[in-house]
Structure 1
């Protein structure tokens, strides 16, 4: 079967969420707006996630996986996914189901017009501290990048694969995907999506890597923006 869309799902020690995740993704595949498959990236989990991932992939032909030998972080997992996929569209969601894969259909409505479509979490079901640190990080990032994106941390995005493969991924730069698309002279659209509380497993980001860490990454982005190579070809000899 020819697929149009691949959903990347990075996983790090999420064994308590994987049964729910499997059910949610299988349900979505039946109603996806385009032909869709799922790529699980096991980011060096040291719990029972790998065994469950392999069982999931055996039971559903639309599921496949990549497993890292050690934990490398979200940016590396996304880069591995971008490198691996061959569909024209690539998406991303977290394994904790704080966002609903069915909302990918809301984003897919805009992919013909935009290079990246990103969710904005409505009525967030997070703690006060988590929402505060996220708000601070988004404000600082917008100040540096001028990307105009309200919620770059929302783990529900779709990118045209051609553009995703051109993103020079560095550790921490998963927060800057819209800004990196804009550096390519690409276009970005925001769409409101649903948000849910985490019901199992542990959050992988604390105050440091939601607020202070992203501030450091902003300076990395400014360096990259200054050095970034982008060109368009108007004419060739052939």
Structure 2
């Protein structure tokens, strides 16, 4: 059965930036997930200008299964742009997101998808995080300041495991750094949010793209950008049309 004959419910965006050492494992993990899942889903790789062999591996994976497809950006634009590009190219009712380092597992999409019809966003909360002390403490500081500024109540906005309604995802205003504010951006549309505990694993291969500076300074400045956006955001629903 080819891709056009299937009624897919979920597109899972996998942003990729110099992750060639992880992609074979990504393929195996998702093939296992597809076999066990009760939901019809597929993967959309978004290659964000990788300079290693990631694109070659992505094309090989996609040629072997119609459950994988890809888009390749013209250069490295950053994670927010890669996620936005994925949203723009999603046609299924629901869209998910997971990092290609697989510190979270596709299997936990089953937990999130159970709540997909009641909430605009279902987001993971990483349990027993397997990160370094510096990464954990900087994440806690950034999360705490963001919650204070946005009032989004999200415990772990940086968790790279999310499922959302595609119509809400496509309406979110996206700028560089806005991937950290997805719960807050959903609130601008009055979208209901559900938080679900998910598993967390150590990074096995590749290198982390974020460090202390860009995990704290960037989000700090972006909080003020969000506050400005919140005051000026246009949100409406059609009551009647003729």
- TM-based fold match above 0.5: yes
Contact in 2 for aligned 1:33/1:108 (Cα 8 Å): no
Return the match for 2:197 from 192, 198, 203: 192
5+ residue gaps, structure 1? none
CA distance in 2, matches of 1:115, 1:163: 7
Q: Is the Cα–Cα contact under 8 Å of residues 82 and 90 in structure 1 kept in the other structure?
A: yes
Q: Structure 1: which 4+ aligned runs deviate by more than 4 Å?
A: none
Structure 1 equivalent of residue 104 of structure 2: 99
Task: Give me the whole-angstrom Cα distance separating, in 2, the residues matched to 1:147 and 1:33.
Answer: 31
Q: Compute the displacement of 1:16 (Å).
A: 0.6
2:210 to 189, 205, 210: 205
Give the Cα separation in 2 of the matches to 1:234 and 1:22. 45
User: Tell me, what secondary structure is at the counterpart of 1:7?
Assistant: strand
Give the structure 2 partner of residue 17 of structure 1.
Answer: 22
Q: Please state if 1:87 is matched with 2:98.
A: no
Q: Which residue of 1 aligns with 2:3?
A: none
Does residue 153 of the first structure (1) align with residue 150 of the second (2)?
A: no
Q: Secondary structure at the match of 2:215?
A: helix
- How far did 1:33 drift? 2.6
If the length of structure 2 is used for normalisation, what is the TM-score? 0.97
- Once residues 214 and 172 of structure 2 are traced to their aligned partners in structure 1, the CA distance between those partners, rounded to angstroms, is 21
Which of 126, 129, 140 is equivalent to 1:124?
Answer: 129
2:238 equivalent to 1:233 = yes
Q: 1:17 is paired with a residue of what secondary structure?
A: helix
What's the CA shift string for 1:212-238, capped at 9, x where partnerless?
1100000110111011001122233x2
Determine helix, strand or coil for the equivalent of 1:158.
strand
Indicate the RMSD between aligned Cα atoms, in angstroms.
0.7
| Structure-2 separation of matches of 1:72 and 1:32 | 32
Shift of 1:69: 1.6
Q: TM-score, normalised by structure 1?
A: 0.98
Deviation at 1:209, TM superposition (A): 1.6
2:181 — aligned with what?
176
Secondary structure of 2:146's aligned partner: helix
Deviation string 1:172-211 (CA, Å, 9 cap, x unpaired) is 0000001111110110000000000001100011111211
